[in-house]
Every structure is written in structure tokens, then in C-alpha cells.
């Protein structure tokens, strides 16, 4: 889902609290939207992966980038 798709869904409904899943049924309120960061798509693509299918690029060390060519050009926005 892109940021614009999310915005259209949110603006089309009532003004509600936005949450993310916590641990064992708990939820957290979204309080922060992190600046866009490069993200590697489908690196953990096996079904049911504990990690999730994608991973943010780590500028200090990235196990998925072996040279400048491998850097991700896709950006993601993380909600906290």
C-alpha cells in the first residue's frame, strides 16, 4: 500500500484512532511517522516469515547491499 492509498482510505472514513498491533492482543497508538527510508522489497519472501517480507536499508551496515548497484531505490515510511 502506498502513502496516497492509505491517505485516501483514512480520509474516506470517520476520524478514528490509528493503531498498530502490539504483543498478545495489545495495540499501540501511532504517534510518529518516520522520514522516508530506502527499503529492500521481498528479501524475506517465504510464506509466514517471522521478519516480514521487506527490510529497511541500514546505511551503516546492510547485509543486502554488496555494492552501490544493490542499493534500494524504493522508499518506505515507517509508522510508530
Instruction: List the domain boundaries for the chain.
Output: 3-76
Q: CA 76 → CA 7, 41, 57, 59, 71, distances in Å?
A: 15, 10, 10, 14, 14
Q: CA 34 → CA 21, 37, 63, 75, 78, distances in Å?
A: 17, 8, 22, 11, 5
Distance CA 38, CA 66 (A): 15
pLDDT at 70: 57
pLDDT at 31: 94
With a threshold of 0.85, does the pTM exceed it? no
> pLDDT digit string (tens) for 13-71?
999 999 988 889 999 999 999 999 888 888 887 666 778 888 888 878 877 776 555 56
Q: Which three cell numbers stand for residue 51?
A: 521478519
Amino acid at each position: 500500500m502506498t502513502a496516497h492509498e492509505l491517505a485516501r482510505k483514512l480520509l474516506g472514513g470517520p476520524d478514528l484512532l490509528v493503531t498498530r498491533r502490539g504483543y498478545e492482543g495489545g495495540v499501540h497508538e501511532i504517534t510518529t511517522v518516520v522520514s522516508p527510508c530506502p527499503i529492500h522489497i521481498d528479501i524475506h519472501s517465504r510464506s509466514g516469515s517471522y521478519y516480514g517480507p521487506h527490510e529497511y536499508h541500514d546505511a551503516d551496515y546492510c547485509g543486502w547491499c554488496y555494492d552501490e548497484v544493490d542499493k534500494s531505490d524504493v522508499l518506505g515510511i515507517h509508522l510508530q
